[in-house]
Amino acid sequence: MVEQQTPADIESLEVNENAEIVLARRYYRKDFDGNPIEDATKLFWRVAFAIAAEESKYEKTTVSPDVLAKDFYSMMANMEFLPNSPTLMNAGTSLGQLAACFVLPVGDSIEEIFDAVKHAAMIHKSGGGTGFSFSRLRPKDSRVGSTGGVASGPVSFLRIFNTATEQIKQGGTRRGANMGILRIDHPDVMEFIRAKEREGEFNNFNFSVALTEDFMKAVESGEDYDLIDPHNQNIITTLNAREVFEILVQKAWEKGDPGIVFLDRINRDNPTPALGEIESTNPCGEQPLLPYEACNLGSINLNVMLKQDDSNILSVDWDRLRRVIHLAVRFLDNVIDASRYPLDRITEMVTTNRKIGLGIMGWADMLFQLNIPYDSQEALNLAEKVMEFIQAEGRAASKQLAKERGAFPAYKDSIFGERDLGPYRNATVTTIAPTGTLSILAGCSSGIEPLFALSFARYVMDGDKLVETNPFFKAALEERGCYSEKLMDSITEKGTIADIDYLPEDLRKVYVTAMDIDAESHLKMQAAFQKYTDNAVSKTVNVPKEATVDDIRSIYWMAYEQGCKGVTVYRDGSLQSQVLCTEGSKKEEESALVRPKVDRPEIVYGFTQKVETGMGMLYVTINEIDGRPFELFATIGKSGRSITAKAEAIGRLVSLALRAGIEPIDIVRQLKGIGGEHPVFQKKGLLLSIPDAISWILENRYLKSSISVHATNGLTKQLCPECGNELVFEEGCNKCYGCGFTKCG
Give CA separation, 150 vs 4, 143, 147, in Å.
Answer: 58, 5, 8
Asked if 282 is an active-site residue, the reply is yes
Identify the active-site residue in 282, 296, 353, 623.
282
Pair type for strands 357-361 and 297-301: parallel
Assess contact for 704 and 244: CB atoms under 8 A. no
Which residues, including other chains, have CB under 8 Å from residue 667's CB and lie 6 or more apart? 654, 657, 658, 695, 698
Identify the active-site residue in 101, 284, 444, 739.
284
Element (H, E) at 369: helix 363-370
Which residues, including other chains, have CB under 8 Å from residue 58's CB and lie 6 or more apart? 404, 405
CB burial of 475-506 (b: ≥16 within 10 Å; e: otherwise) equals ebbeeeeeeeeebbeebbbbbbbbeeeebeee
Which residues, including other chains, have CB under 8 Å from residue 277's CB and lie 6 or more apart? 267, 270, 290
| 395: three-class secondary structure by DSSP | helix
Asked if 286 is an active-site residue, the reply is yes
Identify the active-site residue in 55, 286, 726, 730.
286
Element (H, E) at 51: helix 40-52
Q: Count of residues for the chain?
A: 745
Give CA separation, 609 vs 214, 615, 633, 636, in Å.
Answer: 51, 16, 11, 12
Q: Is 92 exposed, middle or buried (0-12, 13-18, 19+ CB in 10 A)?
A: buried
Q: Is 43 exposed, middle or buried (0-12, 13-18, 19+ CB in 10 A)?
A: buried
Asked if 204 is an active-site residue, the reply is no
Cis status, amide bond into 409, omega within 30 of 0:
no
Longest C-alpha distance within the chain, in Å? 86
d(CA 579, CA 577): 6
Q: Is 315 exposed, middle or buried (0-12, 13-18, 19+ CB in 10 A)?
A: exposed
d(CA 205, CA 744): 9
Angle at 444 between CA 39 and CA 571, to 5 degrees: 125
d(CA 649, CA 651): 5
* Ramachandran angles phi, psi of 278, nearest 5°: -75, 125
d(CA 214, CA 187): 16
Query: What is the rounded end-to-end Cα distance, in angstroms, of the chain?
Result: 26
d(CA 638, CA 233): 54
Assess contact for 621 and 633: CB atoms under 8 A. yes
Catalytic residues: 282, 284, 286
